[in-house]
A and B are shown apart, each in its own frame.
Chain A
Amino acid sequence: MTQTAAPPPPNRARAWSRGVLMGPVSFIAAALVMVGSALWLPKGPAGIDNLVWPIVLFPLLWTAMFLYSCLDVRLGRAWLVALGLALSHGALIANSMMSTPA
């Protein structure tokens, strides 16, 4: 009969990493997704849907990001997802800002 492995001892670095991911990183990622999605969402008949929907959904977006970051067992994967979303939308925003006259 196989024995189940004992849970690994708590790892401070891992706990800090998880905390940073759940806290500032998921907030910043959600914020970047909110702003960046205005650049790819359809504008709709009044030309405003791409602005309104991301702002309206931001609370849900953040909650989903936060809960995912704290529940995904694989911390590395959670970081990849958060950073992937943040960087992709951040790039969209940077591109738009550089090409839009002030």
Chain B
Amino acid sequence: MIRLPQRETRTLLAVHGWSAVLLGLLLYAVIVTGVASVFTDEIADWSSPLPSQADTAWPQGIGSAIQHAAQTVDPQFHEDMIAFRQAGGRMQAFFHKHDTDPAGKPIERGVVTVIDPQSRQIIERREGTDEEIGEMNLPNALAHFIVDLHVRLHLPNPWGLLLTGILGLAMMLAAVTGFVIHRHLFKELFTLRRHKDRMLSTRDAHVIAGTWNLPFAFILAFTGSFFSFASSFGIPAMAMAAFGGDRDKVIEVLIGNPAANDPTPAPPPALDRALDDARQRAGSDPWYILSEHWGRADALQTVVMLPASGTLRNRTFLYDAAGRFMQEKPLLGSVPSSGAAVYSLMGPLHFGNFAGVLSKAAWFALGFAGAYVTFTGLLLWTTRREDQPAWRYLGRSVTGLGYGLPLALIMAAYGYFPVVRLGGDVHVMMMTAFLAGLLGALLLANLLRQLADSRRILLSLTALALIGLPWLRWIGTGVSWIDAAHGGLNAVFAIDLGLSIAGLLCLRAVRRPSPAMKRLPSAQASPAT
């Protein structure tokens, strides 16, 4: 495709290989968890369903239910309220005030009321800081575990975000250099020589997957880096350079909401009126509603809508205390701008959630391809150097992590459901189960002589874990398939079925040898030590 001089090609090939090797295992973890995160809403609904699923988390009259919930909350927390959909269609309304922790870090402190959208009753209450309340959120705990692993590898902010940001940069670099150094992109588009020697077939597998996945690899890496760097580094740096360190000022300028200052007490904001109007204007359901200055004359309601069918972007409407429409505004700024337009694309392009299950399925498949590219690239590198002891260890770790990470993620669910049933610290249980799965897989790959055996065992365990998970979910949540049918719990059916099919596919894969892991003669098998 692009004819570069030899020197440049060699340099870019080295950059491509070394950047991937140094960061490839972590990048693989981010990509695999990203694939799972595509269906985070569905996983939450599956792991913690309500007895029946409402058609929408925002039925008519939900605003009144939120207003009623406000009456049960200490007025000191009526500074702001944000409401959004949670696991199983629950409506979560977080009444809070802005505070600082002992270290001076800005936090939110308040009360969460969780409302059943069908009965309009409060079914759960949690109080504390935003972080404490998040920790107590059992229904969403499994979904949050997976997303948190993807967003920041469970490391504290800002380090986790900076690390995933760097991994995104590495992925982009690999995509760009891979594109440039592959001179016969279109000529080799359909050529996969599985019947040839191990090196060639592994190389082809990697190149084919990389080529077909190239546009999305670039998009996902670019948008992923943006999300990681924007909050951990970009906004604080902008605040320091241009706003005297005032982060709140930067956020205020970016959001662009009209300033108001009329603390005259007023009736609670008319949420239902605002929601009804927003639904009509956007032709879609709300994503979330933010109500500022609750119970004041200058109350402002920001209703952000899900993309209407066929569109990519969210629409944002502003309403006053009485629920009267004030204006439509972009996601950022008070009037349309190029900056707001480009920012509003980053979410849909990264999450793939703009068209429900259809777009999510496409993003899931593409993410899977991205994980395959990373995995085969690492295999290619380590297979080429398997006569060198240091690279041999990496090769074993690649096999262990490559097949072990999906197993470890499933194990996290095995840590979640017993807590739902029996109680306990859900975060400790999920992390313990996850790490046990991961470390067990790494240990297995390093102890067994043949990598093909490690692969076979790990795939078999993954298959068993996948097939067993729907049954564990049933025991943990008490929701059978009959209950799910009565309650219209489609996510329960879909994911249970998906897990079972995935398990059968893993069993099928066990029977097929991997070309990259041909069984070596005993004399050549890498010793465990």
Contact = CB atoms under 8 A, between A and B. Distances in A.
> In their complex, do chains A and B touch, with some C-beta pair under 8 Å?
yes
Interface string B167-201: 01100110011000000000000000000000000
B8 A71 contact: yes
Contact of A52 (B240, B244, B336, B340): B340
Interface string B481-505: 0000000000000000000000000
Given A47-B253, A52-B254, A59 B168 contact: yes
B242 A59 contact: no
B337 A46 contact: yes
B241 A96 contact: yes
Nearest to B177: A67
Interface residues of A, number: 35
A31 B176 contact: no
Contact of A55 (B222, B230, B241): B230
B3 to A, nearest CB: 15
Nearest to A52: B339
- Which of A36, A48, A73, A100 has the largest count of B CB atoms less than 10 A from its CB? A48
A101 B173 contact: no
A65 to B, nearest CB: 11
Given A67-B177, A100-B244, 17 more contacts: A36-B241, A44-B333, A44-B339, A46-B335, A48-B337, A48-B339, A51-B254, A52-B254, A53-B338, A58-B234, A59-B168, A59-B169, A63-B172, A67-B12, A71-B12, A100-B242, A102-B244
Interface in B295-339: 330, 332-339
Interface residues of B, number: 45
B233 A31 contact: yes
29 contacts: A35-B237, A35-B241, A38-B241, A38-B242, A39-B241, A45-B333, A45-B337, A46-B335, A48-B256, A48-B332, A48-B337, A51-B242, A51-B254, A52-B342, A55-B235, A56-B339, A56-B342, A56-B343, A56-B346, A58-B226, A58-B234, A59-B168, A59-B221, A63-B172, A63-B173, A71-B12, A97-B244, A100-B243, A100-B244
Contacts of A50: 339
Contacts of B177: 67
A66 B14 CA distance: 13
Contacts, number: 117
Nearest to A18: B11
Residue of A44, A52, A96 most packed against chain B (CB within 10 A): A52
A24 to B, nearest CB: 12
Q: Main SS of chain B's interface residues?
A: helix
B229 interface: yes
Given A97-B240, A100-B242, A102-B244, A55 B226 contact: yes
A71 B7 CA distance: 9
B133 interface: no
A38 B234 CA distance: 11
A66 B238 CA distance: 22
Contacts of B225: 58-59
Nearest to A44: B337
Nearest to A95: B241
B21 to A, nearest CB: 15
A25 interface: no
Contact of A46 (B11, B226, B334): B334
Contacts of A83: none
A22 to B, nearest CB: 8
A29 interface: no
Interface in A65-81: 66-67, 70-71, 73
Contact of A102 (B8, B169, B245, B254): B245
Contacts of A67: 12, 15, 173, 176-177
B418 to A, nearest CB: 41
A26 B235 CA distance: 20
B222 A60 contact: yes
A25 to B, nearest CB: 15
B250 interface: yes
